[in-house]
Amino acid sequence: MTDSLKVKICGITNLEDAIAAVEAGADALGFVFHRESPRRVTPDIVRQIVAQLPPLVLPVGVFVNEDAKVVRDVMDACALALAQIHGDESPSYCREVGRPVLRAIRLRDRAGLADMAGYQEQACVRGFVVDAYSEQAFGGTGERVDWALAAEAARTSRVLLAGGLTPENVQEAVIRVRPYGVDVSSGVEARPGKKDHAKVMAFVRAAKLASTQSGGYTALVE
């Protein structure tokens, strides 16, 4: 038997949106600590939100080119389950973090698939977030990743598909890519940093409906 598709709602900035995502059926919530993101949150805010989450909903911290010690300290202070590493960090950096890691890969071409190999050798790397490549930002751009390339990645790794997903296209994306899960931020927003609760509900519902046709993997946190 395989696990059902996992859904991560990223860019959560407030408790109201967090609760709405959980009630919609999200399996994980993402909190962005990158200073240049319009969805940036502080550890104090995240700690308060995480303290009110129900069990078995994974809180994930998103970091970009941050000092490894800072990542560890923030994760511990906020009780985060995973660190999503979204910048130019190396495989050795992920090992230095010393916590469970999701490595974001911005796929521009097949070379991006080769880049995943070095990270797969690190025991701390539990999976990958496959996102679209952009020269303007490290993530949250709303640009769609190449689904054919993403499908190749999903055949050999635990992949959360990101990049340009919306309630309207997530079902097709799941069927074509067969990922471990999906990750959305801008596709369910009213504006940067504020979720549209109806879109969140529609996204989770559409993703879960397609889950019986997607591949399943073991849990990210073991």
144 close to 164: Cβ distance less than 8 angstroms: yes
In a domain, 222, yes or no: no
Q: In this predicted model, what pLDDT tens digit does every residue of 100-120 receive, in sequence order?
A: 999 999 887 777 788 888 898
Q: In this predicted model, what pLDDT tens digit does every residue of 18-60 receive, in sequence order?
A: 999 999 999 999 999 999 999 999 999 999 999 999 999 999 9
In a domain, 89, yes or no: yes
The count of domains in the chain is 1
Active site residue 183: no
Annotated catalytic residue within 17, 131, 146, 183: 131
Helix (H) or strand (E) holding 70: helix 68-78
In a domain, 184, yes or no: yes
179 close to 214: Cβ distance less than 8 angstroms: yes
**pLDDT (tens place) for every residue of the chain, 222 residues total:** 245 899 999 999 999 999 999 999 999 999 999 999 999 999 999 999 999 999 999 999 999 999 999 999 999 999 999 999 999 999 999 999 999 999 999 887 777 788 888 898 888 999 999 987 555 544 445 578 889 999 999 998 999 999 899 999 999 999 999 999 999 999 999 999 999 999 999 999 999 998 765 444 444 444
In a domain, 218, yes or no: no
Active site residue 27: no
Annotated catalytic residue within 10, 27, 94, 183: 10
Domain that holds residue 77: 6-213
In a domain, 220, yes or no: no
DSSP 200: H
In a domain, 94, yes or no: yes
CA 174 to chain centre: 15
In a domain, 186, yes or no: yes
pTM listed for this prediction: 0.90
Greatest CA separation found in the chain?
42
CATH number for the domain that contains residue 66 = 3.20.20.70
E-assigned strand segments in 10-100: 28-32, 58-63, 82-85
CA 107 to chain centre: 15
